[in-house]
A and B are shown apart, each in its own frame.
Chain A
Amino acid sequence: MVETVHAPSQGTFGRILREPRALFGGLFILFLIFCALSAPLIAPHDPLEQDLLLEKIPPVWQAGSDPAYLLGTDGLGRDLLSRLIHAARISLIVAFVAGILACLLGTTLGLLAGFYGRWVDTLISRLVDIWMSFPPVLLSILLVAVLGSGLHSVIVAIVVIDWTRFCRVVRTETLAQTKLEYVDSAVTLGMPRMRILFREILPNVFPVILVLLSLEMGIAVIVEAILSFVGLSVSTDTPTWGGMIAEGRQVIYQAWWVLVFPLAALFLTVLAFNQLGDGLRNALDPALRR
Chain B
Amino acid sequence: MRRPLLDIEGLSARTADGQAVLLDVSLLMGPGEVHGLVGQSGAGKTSIAKAVLGILPRAITLNEGSIRFDGTELIGAPAATLDKLLGTDIALIPQDPMTALNPSRRIGAQLTDSLRLKAGLSKSAAMERARKLLEEVHLTDTRRILRAYPHELSGGMRQRVLIASAFALNPRLIIADEPTSALDVTVQKQILRLIRRLQREHETAVLFVTHDLGVVAQICDDVTVLFSGAVVEQTTVHHLFRHPRHVYTRALIASNPRYDQPGASLRPISDEVIADTLQSLDAKGAS
Is there a chain B Cβ closer than 8 Å to A118's Cβ?
yes
Known contacts A180-B99, A182-B99, A204-B104: does B86 contact A3 (CB below 8 Å)?
no
Is there a chain A Cβ closer than 8 Å to B36's Cβ?
no
Chain A residue nearest to B154 in the complex (CB): A3
| B140 in contact with A190 (CB, 8 Å) | no
Interface string of B112-134 (1 = CB under 8 A from A): 01100110000000000000000
Interface residues of B (CB under 8 A from A): 50, 53-55, 58, 82-88, 90-92, 94-96, 99-105, 113-114, 117-118, 138-141, 144-145, 148, 151-154, 156-157, 162, 165
Instruction: Report the Cα distance A6→B162, complex, angstroms.
Output: 18
| A5 in contact with B153 (CB, 8 Å) | yes
| B82 in contact with A204 (CB, 8 Å) | no
Question: Which chain A residues (181-205) contact chain B, with CB distance < 8 Å?
Answer: 181-182, 184-192, 200, 203-204
Chain A residue nearest to B80 in the complex (CB): A190
| B141 in contact with A200 (CB, 8 Å) | no
Q: A184-B53, A185-B94 are in contact. List 6 more A-B contacts (CB 8 A).
A: A6-B152, A185-B100, A188-B92, A189-B86, A190-B83, A203-B104
**A/B interface sample: 24 pairs, CB < 8 A:** A3-B154, A3-B156, A4-B140, A4-B144, A5-B145, A5-B148, A6-B153, A181-B100, A184-B94, A185-B92, A185-B162, A187-B86, A188-B91, A189-B87, A189-B117, A189-B118, A190-B82, A190-B86, A190-B114, A191-B113, A200-B105, A204-B102, A204-B104, A288-B104
Contacts of A188 in B (CB 8 A): 53, 55, 86-87, 90-92
Is there a chain B Cβ closer than 8 Å to A290's Cβ?
yes
Contacts of A190 in B (CB 8 A): 82-88, 114, 117-118
Contacts of B100 in A (CB 8 A): 181-182, 184-185
Instruction: Report the Cα distance A288→B156, complex, angstroms.
Output: 20
* Closest chain A CB from B51 CB (angstroms): 12
Is there a chain B Cβ closer than 8 Å to A62's Cβ?
no
Known contacts A190-B83, A204-B102: does B157 contact A3 (CB below 8 Å)?
yes
Known contacts A190-B82, A191-B113: does B102 contact A118 (CB below 8 Å)?
no
Known contacts A5-B153, A200-B105, A204-B103: does B144 contact A191 (CB below 8 Å)?
no
Contacts of B84 in A (CB 8 A): 190
Instruction: Report the Cα distance A206→B53, complex, angstroms.
Output: 29
Chain B residue nearest to A201 in the complex (CB): B102
| B105 in contact with A9 (CB, 8 Å) | no
* Closest chain A CB from B55 CB (angstroms): 5
Instruction: Report the Cα distance A200→B106, complex, angstroms.
Output: 11
* Closest chain A CB from B69 CB (angstroms): 13
Contacts of A203 in B (CB 8 A): 102, 104-105
| B152 in contact with A8 (CB, 8 Å) | yes
Chain B residue nearest to A7 in the complex (CB): B152
Chain B residue nearest to A289 in the complex (CB): B103
Contacts of A44 in B (CB 8 A): none
Chain B residue nearest to A200 in the complex (CB): B102
Is there a chain B Cβ closer than 8 Å to A77's Cβ?
no
* Closest chain B CB from A166 CB (angstroms): 19
Contacts of B152 in A (CB 8 A): 5-6, 8-9
Chain B residue nearest to A204 in the complex (CB): B104
* Closest chain A CB from B22 CB (angstroms): 18
Contact partner, A1, options B83, B85, B99, B139, Cβ 8 Å: B139
User: 7 closest pairs, A vs B, by CB?
Assistant: A190-B83, A190-B86, A181-B100, A189-B87, A203-B104, A190-B87, A188-B92
Contacts of A75 in B (CB 8 A): none
Instruction: Report the Cα distance A204→B103, complex, angstroms.
Output: 7
Contacts of B94 in A (CB 8 A): 181, 184-185
Chain B residue nearest to A117 in the complex (CB): B58
| B85 in contact with A184 (CB, 8 Å) | no
Contacts of A8 in B (CB 8 A): 148, 152
